[in-house]
Amino acid sequence: MEMTWLKLGVTVADKIESELPGYRFSLRTQNDTLCPCDGCTVDKFPCGLATMTFQRKYTSYLLTIYLPSGLFVGVAWLSFTWPPEVIPGRTVLIITSLLTVISMYGSVR
């Protein structure tokens, strides 16, 4: 059996960035004709090496998860400064905050 390498080696689809919106993707290829092998019966063999790197884009997570969550916590803490007689207002605020956080985390998954 004889195998031959394509001239391009390992390639990446053009639409990879749109399919992975939360990540930066990079591919480093090394198409050597012979690679060393430690502990093998043959010292060198034909090989192709590809290193894929995924870097998470943190700004989207900060704006869509952490910032709204922090705002809800801040509003909930501000409700402690209200007078104790305002029970209906606190109840509405707590229920609205909980429903918003639940729907926000449900949309993330």
Domain definitions of the chain by residue range? 16-56, 59-108
Q: Cα(57)–Cα(60) distance, rounded to whole angstroms?
A: 6
Residue type for 55, please? Q
Paired strand residues for 24: 55
Q: What residues are paired with 53 via a beta bridge? A: 26
At residue 37, φ and ψ (nearest 5 deg) are: -135, 115
Pull the structure tokens for residue 101: 């956080």
pTM for this structure?
Answer: 0.47
Mean pLDDT, consecutive 10-residue stretches, the chain (109 aa), reads 64 79 81 74 76 85 80 82 83 84 74
